[in-house]
């Protein structure tokens, strides 16, 4: 990390716990977090400096450190931050100057809420199986038809980066991205999906949804690679978020072990507790090293050549897989150490136990990360 990253972590660690957001309703809480994060300049790390961002380019180490710090304090704040990045990443990578000017500054200020619409009821991990279509009409407009689901920020987003088939028979080579404003005619985002931890999610129905041809994002049929490149950037930051939650669970466990009295001593005096804490600390550190390595690799070595891009994809996948799986184990061990208090609604380890679960699934499930790493190992 550079000094700028350390300053960022220190500044955000001081700021985040002072924010008072009622998280009982995830949709309004998420809006509030976007407003706060935008007003205080934190969202500027989601876009490059040329469009109102804080740094010249999307900086993976900054994204990792910001997500780790936010997730330590509030997984929902982390989610609000992350979606501004994921929902604008494809515009940063492939948008025209007009698209970048229209969306990126607003995202960085928190004036527009962003979303990324890739998954479908029958196409989650298997992206190429998507069936949403985009058809270029004679009048130069584009018609979208189909269903996207599990869309984070669905229903509260101001726009969606939507991936649709423009050449249905061509598999991964027949997908194109589009920017779809939330008020586009023929788009219905009213079907909310409730999940086990606070997280605004919805299904999007496109029924003859008409958008201008200028909404095409990136090259025709270049959508699959654009989606993969966008996910690549943010996968290391999902690892950062998992790391923040694991660090919080470890802290909660240590504090509990030092104060909880049983059999005439504290929980921390038992060797069994010391062994568990040792294992948890090692799991956290292993995740941290892989996460920071992936972020450093992207920032300092880059992804300009195919070899570099493949190496980074594999390392981001290792980081995402390891950090989310390790965090789940650490949080479970912390909860176990709390005994009955661990499952009481309202305790931090109880909410972390629910918060962490989806990270092993979204932005590429653990099994997808294994595939990406395995393919890279075979390529050599």
Report the interface residues with ligand COS, using CB under 6 A. Answer: 116, 118-119, 125, 127-128, 172-173, 224-225, 228-229, 231-232, 313, 362-364, 368, 371-372
- Find, among 144, 158, 271, 163, the residue nearest to 208 by Cα: 144
Q: Least distance to ligand COS from the beta carbon of 234, Å?
A: 9
| CB closer to ligand COS out of 110 and 364 | 364
Residue 175's φ and ψ, nearest 5 degrees, are: -115, 140
Both structure tokens of 292: 């920071």
Has 23 been annotated as catalytic?
no
DSSP code of residue 156: T
* Alpha-carbon gap, residue 162 to 148, rounded angstroms: 9
Q: Least distance to ligand COS from the beta carbon of 163, Å?
A: 9
| CB closer to ligand COS out of 217 and 249 | 217
Residue 291's φ and ψ, nearest 5 degrees, are: -65, -50
Q: Which of 191, 279, 363, 367 is catalytic?
A: 363
| CB closer to ligand COS out of 13 and 376 | 376
| CB closer to ligand COS out of 173 and 344 | 173
* Alpha-carbon gap, residue 267 to 339, rounded angstroms: 11
Helix residue ranges per DSSP H, 1-150: 3-15, 26-39, 60-73, 75-94, 97-109
CA distances from 65 to 13, 106, 135 (A): 10, 23, 41
* Alpha-carbon gap, residue 244 to 279, rounded angstroms: 17
* Alpha-carbon gap, residue 183 to 180, rounded angstroms: 8
| CB closer to ligand COS out of 17 and 374 | 374
Place of tokens 């997730």: 71
* Alpha-carbon gap, residue 350 to 352, rounded angstroms: 5
Q: Least distance to ligand COS from the beta carbon of 228, Å?
A: 3
Q: Least distance to ligand COS from the beta carbon of 156, Å?
A: 16
Q: Least distance to ligand COS from the beta carbon of 336, Å?
A: 30
CA distances from 152 to 40, 136, 160, 332 (A): 23, 27, 10, 25
278 and 347 Cβ atoms separated by less than 8 Å: no
Q: Least distance to ligand COS from the beta carbon of 362, Å?
A: 4
Catalytic residues: 363
């Amino acid at each position: 990390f550079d000094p700028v990253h350390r300053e960022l972590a220190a500044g955000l660690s001081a700021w985040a716990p002072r924010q008072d957001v009622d998280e009982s309703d995830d949709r309004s809480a998420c809006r509030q977090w976007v407003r706060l994060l935008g007003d205080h300049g934190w969202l500027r790390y989601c876009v490059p400096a040329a469009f109102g961002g804080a740094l010249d380019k999307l900086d993976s180490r900054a994204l990792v450190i910001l997500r780790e710090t936010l997730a330590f304090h509030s997984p929902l704040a982390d989610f609000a931050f992350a979606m501004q990045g994921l929902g604008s990443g494809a515009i940063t990578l492939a948008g025209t100057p007009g698209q970048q000017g229209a969306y990126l500054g607003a995202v960085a200020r928190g004036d527009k809420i962003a979303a990324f619409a890739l998954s479908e009821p029958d196409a989650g991990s298997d992206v190429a199986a998507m069936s949403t279509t985009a058809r270029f009409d004679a009048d130069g407009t584009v018609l979208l038809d189909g269903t996207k689901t599990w869309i984070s920020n669905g229903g509260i987003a101001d726009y969606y980066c939507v991936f649709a088939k423009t050449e249905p028979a061509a598999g991964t080579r027949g997908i194109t991205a589009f920017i779809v404003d939330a008020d586009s005619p023929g788009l219905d985002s009213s079907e909310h999906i409730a999940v086990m931890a606070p997280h605004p999610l919805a299904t999007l129905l496109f029924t003859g949804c008409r958008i201008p041809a200028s909404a095409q994002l990136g090259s025709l049929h270049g959508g699959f690679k654009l989606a993969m490149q966008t996910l690549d950037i943010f996968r290391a930051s999902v690892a950062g978020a998992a790391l923040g939650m694991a660090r919080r669970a470890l802290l909660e466990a240590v504090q509990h072990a030092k104060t909880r009295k049983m059999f005439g001593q504290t929980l921390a005096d038992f060797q069994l507790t010391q062994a568990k804490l040792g294992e948890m600390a090692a799991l956290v550190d292993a995740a941290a090293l892989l996460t920071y390595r992936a972020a450093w690799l992207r920032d300092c070595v880059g992804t300009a050549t195919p070899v570099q891009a493949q190496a980074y994809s594999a390392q981001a996948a290792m980081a995402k897989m390891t950090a989310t799986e390790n965090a789940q184990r650490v949080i479970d061990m912390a909860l176990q150490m709390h005994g009955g208090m661990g499952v009481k609604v309202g305790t931090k380890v109880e909410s972390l136990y629910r918060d962490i679960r989806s990270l092993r699934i979204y932005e590429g499930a653990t099994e997808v990360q294994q595939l990406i790493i395995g393919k890279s190992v075979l390529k050599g």
